[in-house]
Amino acid sequence: MHLRCVNCNRRYEIDEVVYSCNCGGLLEVVIDLDKVKNVFDGRDITLWKYRSFLPVDERVSLREGGTPIYKLSDGVYLKNEGANPTGSFKDRGMTVGVSKAVELGMRKVICASTGNTAASLAAYSAKAGMKCYVLVPSGKVAVGKLSQAIIHGANIVQIKGNFDDALNIVLKASREIGAYILNSVNPFRLEGQKTAAFEIYDQLRFVPDAVILPVGNGGNISAIWKGFKEMEEAGIINKLPKMVGIQAEGASPLVRMFKEGGDFRPFERPETVATAIRIGNPVNWTKAIKAVRESNGLLESVTDDEILEAQEELASVHGIFVEPASAASLAGFKKLRKAGAIRRDEKVVLVATGHGLKDPDAVLRRSRPIISVNADANELIKILEEQRKPEH
Ligand code: F0G
């Protein structure tokens, strides 16, 4: 087991504290796949079931993974990552990343975040007894996520700028502060996140034609792709899915690159109601583009209105409450299916990345006024009857 640069293949030792190659390339963990165990039996699913695929021992866990998969309609499934301990898929990454921090003897951890990474790191570092710093874009973090970071005791700093500014500061200041970075530039975090691929196969007992998920920094799409490729290399599956990434229109630099070609160019002023993916300069863009191209996949953007409509549909038709960024999966799927880019006979898994309670304001801001009556049964009946009358 070692670290490898995805650009130049340079090798680094597994216990080096290093986040990128000297050439500037991103790093990935290379697992000894001849030593992995085929534990895929559709039973007893938790993330640590797949420990032979993971580069650390289980040291800090809140029982992450094992999230439900729902059938929305024929051939359309939803993997609900909001069911993780802090309500997002980040917990898969943090259990592995913080376990690695313990192994390295780190006392402090740090991240920049649009909210979920902060909430997750705050919880796992609390359990590990580590000091935690989180940098968030001022005024742009959903209230549920912020309250999680506060109650778990993180040191929170609001940056007068966006997520990309906050991450830049983390990358520059972590060494001075003496803190281990747990953003998705950390390859160990992505190792945890790749287990979503293992679970999708374990639960469905087949490999879907496409996996569709929201893309911000591009870490998760590359992690899940790595998970599928490792299962294939280990001889457990013999087919790979297309990886389909969805960005919000106002923060869609990867979609632009994919559709228009040319060099990668960031969005200077990313904007979207889906604050989780309000990212203009995805740090993992090379890995994300590679996952999409290698898998013969797609990148597509959706509007804020399409996102909010999909969020409402998931909640009011299927009973599943997800945060806006997560609803981008369904919004993108509907758009691609309408355009014929995903066929009706293709089996797809939509990944819902975070729980709806993370961002209650996104619902309350657009809800109709709630009726209020005196504590009187007759008054209630009268008002409900009036509501039933056809409007003139
Ligand atoms: N969905 C949700 C709910 C997220 O919180 C994020 C990222 C993504 C999707 C995108 O994942 O970055 O791996 O492409 N949230 C980060 C955070 C940026 O700070 O919580 P990605």
What is the pLDDT at residue 45? 80
Query: Whole-model pTM?
Result: 0.96
168-174 contacts at long range (C-beta below 8 A, 24 or more positions apart):
169/112, 169/135, 170/110, 170/111, 170/112, 170/135, 171/19, 173/110, 174/110
- With a 6 Å cutoff on the Cβ, whether 94 touches ligand 1 is no
Residue that the structure tokens 């040191």 belong to: 155
Query: Can you tell me the mean pLDDT for 110-125?
Result: 98
Residue 283 backbone phi and psi in degrees, to 5: -65, -25
One DSSP character per residue, 162-200 reads -HHHHHHHHHHHHHHHT-EE-STTSHHHHHHHTHHHHHH
Ligand 1 atom with the shortest distance to the CA of 223: 13
Q: Is the pLDDT at 390 greater than 80, yes or no?
A: no
Name the residue of 81, 90, 169, 350 to mutate for ligand 1: max ligand atoms within 8 A of Cβ: 90
Q: pLDDT tens across 258-305, in order? A: 999 999 999 999 999 999 999 999 999 999 999 999 999 999 999 999
What is the pLDDT at residue 388? 84
16 pLDDT band (50/70/90 cuts)? very high
360 pLDDT band (50/70/90 cuts)? very high
What is the pLDDT at residue 126? 98
User: CA nearest 54: which of 11, 98, 106?
Assistant: 98
Name the residue of 67, 220, 287, 355 to mutate for ligand 1: max ligand atoms within 8 A of Cβ: 220
Q: pLDDT tens across 187-208, in order? A: 999 999 999 999 999 999 999 9
Residue 132 backbone phi and psi in degrees, to 5: -125, 130
- With a 6 Å cutoff on the Cβ, whether 186 touches ligand 1 is no
- With a 6 Å cutoff on the Cβ, whether 114 touches ligand 1 is yes
Element (H, E) at 156: strand 155-159
Ligand 1 atom with the shortest distance to the CA of 184: 13
Residue 378: strand, helix, or coil:
helix
46 pLDDT band (50/70/90 cuts)? confident
Q: pLDDT tens across 77-103, in order? A: 999 999 999 999 999 999 999 999 999
Angle at CA of residue 339, ends 291 and 281, nearest 5°: 40
User: CA nearest 94: which of 65, 136, 53, 137?
Assistant: 65
Residue 113 CA, distance from chain mean position: 12
What is the pLDDT at residue 60? 98
Angle at CA of residue 309, ends 303 and 313, nearest 5°: 145
Element (H, E) at 111: strand 108-112
Q: Is the pLDDT at 392 greater than 70, yes or no?
A: no
- With a 6 Å cutoff on the Cβ, whether 217 touches ligand 1 is yes
Q: pLDDT tens across 148-181, in order? A: 999 999 999 999 999 999 999 999 999 999 999 9
CA of 177 to the centre of ligand 1 (A): 24
Q: pLDDT tens across 306-353, in order? A: 999 999 999 999 999 999 999 999 999 999 999 999 999 999 999 999
- With a 6 Å cutoff on the Cβ, whether 218 touches ligand 1 is yes
What is the pLDDT at residue 44? 78
Percent with pLDDT over 70 in the chain = 99
CA of 2 to the centre of ligand 1 (A): 26
